[in-house]
Structure 1
Amino acid sequence: MQPQGSGEVPVETVRVARAAFPKGSLAIRVRDELGVLFADEQFADLFPARGKPAWSPGRLAMVLVLQFVEGLTDRQAAEAVRARIDWKFVLGLELTDPGFDFSVLSEFRDRLVGGDAGRCVLDAILVAAQKRGLVAAGGKARTDSTHVLSSARELNWLELVGETLRAALNAVARAEPDWLSAHALPDWFTHYATRIEDSRFPAARIKRVEVGRRIGADGMRLLGMIWTDDAPTALRVLPQVEVLRQVWVQQFHLVEGEVERRAPKDRPPGAKRLVTPHDIEARGSVKRDLVWDGYKVHLTETCEADTVHLVTNVTTTLAMVSDDRMAAVVHTGLARRGLLPDEHWVDTGYANSSSLAAARTDHKVALHGPLRPVTVAQARGEGTYGQDAFIIDWDHQHVTCPNGITSTQWHHRCSEEQLPVIRVRFSPADCRTCPRLRDCVSSPKAQRREITLRPRHEYEALHQARKLQATDEWKDRYKIRAGVEGTISQGVQACGLRRSRYRGLGKTSLQHQLTGAAINLIRINAWLTDRPRSHTRTSPLAALRPAA
């Protein structure tokens, strides 16, 4: 890669662009107001020092963002570079520049993924926006997540194991055709020569079970053949064979020498369980009534009333990663960009005691989100013997009950989620003689009161937040969080946010970084042209609803 020129737009390109677009366009305004967003030097580490000179990576990064702004394919984006005057203007190209072959975009994305450079695309736009005074640290921000479907088709169980075996057989056939011809069973050419989705599985449950056993036995036979001494060792390192081995370990086992499907409780958890052989990083997840295979994306945006709302952080995770782990990750990303807010508004999924305390302690951020309700009566604080009725002495590490009895045990432990907690226990000798024991404990057989506490800083943050969230003022201020739903809707409708274009977490993450960058350019353009924000659509019937 050889950095090119000063980035000035050729005089003839400027003249023609101004004549063709007297009122400007998004691409022209971006160049006029923000300047050159991406320099070739930013991507120097992605290219070798020697070889054929590459097309300008800074311009390619701009093309990728504009591609998402307008929802174009690679072919359409490459054609726009050749044919459109406003694109030549923003890229600083001569009118006669022939552009590049569309395959260059795919190769450049691979370089971005391989060098973990996707974040720098969004970062460059935010840096330019900061210089323009459109975004700054402090103020308010809000975050929400949404599901992302894998680019691979969702498979049922028979399709999963059948397609996994078919992909492995095709890979072996390409690598060692003579070996496979000598060892393959005749039925394999009948059952696995075409895509499994083209097959018609029997409707009867018993017959479907038989098909599953047959596929399981065939896959076990192929794995056994590959791991014999006379098999080519190169077959063992084929990616498709490794996927076959993992899926068969997860789905099948031997019972008295016969291949049987594992029982549901004997299968691995969702974090490890493969759902398709064509995207081995995709995972299955469930959120209320929604079930999907793929990933999850978290979007954070500024939300001050009189400024442009820009996406300041985008994080993509596997589908089953819970939102309650992500507040710290989001704050770390915002801190790296120098865009930490003073107030961060989130939904219930992100808000918990550890997140509230860590946000305040580590980043000086006030995290606001509805806390999950407490379901245990003794912990809710209801009645005389709720947890709030007990006096906690943190310095001397004991708790005193409403009757003046002091706890005898104070132990630091870990919860089922491996989070630090404090287990406090009273003596059975003290509790058994208490006439209100049954009102104090939840189990009819319990002989003493036990209390589970969070570490002190988390406990105090949690109680302070619950007290604040009970006020009408906080409930009214929390309405600001709802606006992030519009950002997700814009990402879905304009950029296809909920469907991955590519396979794998790395490329899906790059897609979402480009989506965040595209949304920012769209919003900056709307801000520069004084286009008002859209109001929430209300149907005529909903408008007639009486006020509560």
Structure 2
Amino acid sequence: MRPLPSPAVPESTARVARAAFPRGCLAMRIRDEFGAVLESERFVAAFAHRGGPSVSPGMLALVSVLQYAERLTDRQAADAVRGRIDWKYALGLQLADPGFDFSVPSEFRDRLIAHGLEQQILDAILAQCNTRGLLRAGGRARTDSTHVIACIRDLNRLEFVTETMRCALEALAVAAPAWPAGTDAVNADWLARYQQHADSYRLPKGEAERTAFAENVGGDGHELPDTPDDPTAPAHLAGLEAVVLLRTVWAQEYQRDARGVRWRGNKQRPPGAARIVPPHDGDARCGVKRGSAWDGYKTHLTENCDDDLPHLITHVVTTPATTDDHQLTNAVHQALTERGLKPAEHYVDGGYTSAKIILEARALGIEVIGPVKQAGGRPALHTSGYAATDFRIDWHTRQVTCPQGRISTRWSDTTIGGEPRIHIDFSSAGCTTCPAKNICTTAAYRVLTLLPREEHELLQQRRTEQQTEEWKKRYHTRAGVEGSISQAVRRAGARRTRYRGLAKTSLAQVLTAAALNLYRLDTWWTGTPLGTTRVSHYEQLVLSLAA
């Protein structure tokens, strides 16, 4: 690649574009306001210094963003570069410029992923905004997440293992078509089971028949991973992605002993964070939230929300579906700090907060505003009895007094899940004879587990604060991020990934965020008011009658 300054918009292109769009349009306003918003120098590391000249990476980056802004395929994006006057204006191309082949955007995305440059596109747009005073540090930000469905078919467990076996056979047939012909992998039974997709034919209906079918597939799968290790097999077959995936899936789904190959019980299977769910995307996981389950990923959007500035997405990260939200809070703070966009206030929901997270954020100069979990346990569930907050703690003497006046007999420092905790026991004899035992504990004696003092006191303070109307009014600022997620879903289809794998899905979400920022900048420049919450006609009628 030979980085060159972005050319000015040719006079003929500008004249035709102005005639076609007298009021301008999004692509033209981006060019007028920012010039060449994405410079090629940001992507130098992804291209060789020798060889034939490449298509301008800066142009490809802008094409990728416009492509996601309009939900176009690679072929449609290449056609838009070749035939649309507003895109030619934004890219600074001559009217007769033929553009490029539709395969080029895919190759460009692969280069970005291979060289770790996925965030450069969003960073470049944010840098332009920062220079023009459209972003600033020390303001307000808010974060929320939404699910992303993987680009796969939904399969039950029997279909899943059958399809995994079929994919491994397909990979072997392509990698070394001459070799399987001389092995046991080619036989009539295997052909009947694996010649088509697992969901393309009817599987056995009876429980006994389905179990027998599953065990046959399991036996076939245990034979196949050993076959590439045969001395006569080509050396590269054992490392094929589909074969490695098959070995992992069989270890998770089957057990082999003296009685043969059998299903693993649900408790014997690995946890959801490690368990593979589709054979076509080894990174996707099964996530569950409020009773809804999906196979895929989770994306976390952070936007600034100062009233006097456009609301721009400043950070986006995509994780497997099983990743808890609270694991991302510190990462968001670190990323915003590195970009010079550290907020003074960060509004999040309860999934991103904990006493420890709030304290760590305060050390960075960020106030995390979000609800913490209320006290749990039996009293909280039954709305009666003694909760942990009813016990009086003396941190200096390391003793706890229960509501009945009894003093704890043991105070010990411990760890749970690698985090420090305080374990407190009361006397078994004292609890057994206590008249309030039935409303205190069902165990032989009461046990308390406390956070370290600073975290414990902060937790109690926040639980009290979040019940006040003043705090609720302040926290109302977080609600706006729901509109951002809605816009990402409706405009860019953010809840369904086009690609397979976490890396490509992450890049797609970054491009989606960059596209949304272009829309929001265009709205800011044209003075278009922000959208309001949708209200149905029936709801409007009820509200008007109630008023």
TM-score of the pair, normalised by structure 2: 0.93
Q: 1:284 aligns with which of 283, 286, 304?
A: 286
CA distance in 2, matches of 1:330, 1:483: 18
CA distance in 1, matches of 2:449, 2:47: 55
Q: Does 1:487 align with 2:478?
A: no
- Alpha carbons 1:412, 1:420 under 8 Å: kept: yes
- Alpha carbons 2:6, 2:36 under 8 Å: kept: no
For 2:366, the aligned partner's letter is V
Q: Does 1:34 align with 2:34?
A: yes
CA distance in 2, matches of 1:33, 1:490: 23
Per the alignment, residue 126 of structure 1 pairs with 126
Per the alignment, residue 201 of structure 1 pairs with 203
Per the alignment, residue 360 of structure 1 pairs with 362
Deviation of the 1:241 alpha carbon: 0.7
Per the alignment, residue 442 of structure 2 pairs with 443
Q: 1:457 aligns with which of 451, 454, 458?
A: 454
Deviation of the 1:98 alpha carbon: 1.5
Q: What do you get for the CA RMSD once the two structures are aligned?
A: 2.4
Deviations 1:123-182 (A, max 9, x none): 111111112222212222221111101012122112211111111111112233333112
- Alpha carbons 1:167, 1:240 under 8 Å: kept: yes
CA shift in 2, pair 1:7/1:392, >3 Å: farther
Deviations 1:203-240 (A, max 9, x none): 22322222211211111122233334444332211111
Deviations 1:292-346 (A, max 9, x none): 1100001111223343211111110000111122211221222122222222222
Per the alignment, residue 371 of structure 1 pairs with 372
For 1:410, the aligned partner's letter is W
Per the alignment, residue 513 of structure 1 pairs with 510
CA shift in 2, pair 1:434/1:210, >3 Å: closer
What secondary structure, in the 3-state scheme, does the structure 2 residue paired with 1:226 have?
Answer: coil
Q: 1:308 aligns with which of 289, 302, 310?
A: 310
CA shift in 2, pair 1:15/1:474, >3 Å: same
Deviation of the 1:517 alpha carbon: 0.5
Mapping 1:160-309, distance limit 5 Å: 160-183=160-183, 184-309=186-311
Per the alignment, residue 112 of structure 1 pairs with 112
Per the alignment, residue 351 of structure 1 pairs with 353
What secondary structure, in the 3-state scheme, does the structure 1 residue paired with 2:196 have?
Answer: coil
For 1:270, the aligned partner's letter is G
Per the alignment, residue 136 of structure 1 pairs with 136
CA distance in 1, matches of 2:454, 2:51: 57
CA shift in 2, pair 1:320/1:310, >3 Å: same
- Alpha carbons 2:375, 2:388 under 8 Å: kept: no
CA distance in 2, matches of 1:536, 1:277: 40
Aligned length: 543
What secondary structure, in the 3-state scheme, does the structure 2 residue paired with 1:152 have?
Answer: coil
Deviation of the 1:277 alpha carbon: 1.5
- Alpha carbons 1:384, 1:402 under 8 Å: kept: no
CA distance in 1, matches of 2:18, 2:397: 75
CA shift in 2, pair 1:152/1:433, >3 Å: closer
Deviation of the 1:368 alpha carbon: 1.7
Deviation of the 1:405 alpha carbon: 5.6
CA shift in 2, pair 1:256/1:129, >3 Å: same
Deviation of the 1:103 alpha carbon: 0.5
Listed as ranges, the gaps of 5+ residues in structure 1 are none
Deviation of the 1:15 alpha carbon: 2.8
CA distance in 1, matches of 2:328, 2:438: 38
Listed as ranges, the gaps of 5+ residues in structure 2 are none
Same amino acid, percent of matched pairs? 47
Per the alignment, residue 474 of structure 1 pairs with 471
- Alpha carbons 1:379, 1:387 under 8 Å: kept: no
What secondary structure, in the 3-state scheme, does the structure 1 residue paired with 2:146 have?
Answer: strand
- Alpha carbons 2:359, 2:455 under 8 Å: kept: yes
For 2:471, the aligned partner's letter is W
What secondary structure, in the 3-state scheme, does the structure 2 residue paired with 1:349 have?
Answer: helix
Per the alignment, residue 500 of structure 2 pairs with 503
- Alpha carbons 1:34, 1:132 under 8 Å: kept: no
Per the alignment, residue 70 of structure 1 pairs with 70
CA distance in 1, matches of 2:433, 2:359: 36
Per the alignment, residue 145 of structure 1 pairs with 145
Deviations 1:236-265 (A, max 9, x none): 111111111111111111142411111111
CA shift in 2, pair 1:384/1:212, >3 Å: closer
Per the alignment, residue 338 of structure 1 pairs with 340
Q: Which moved more, 1:403-412 or 1:263-272?
A: 403-412
Deviation of the 1:202 alpha carbon: 2.4
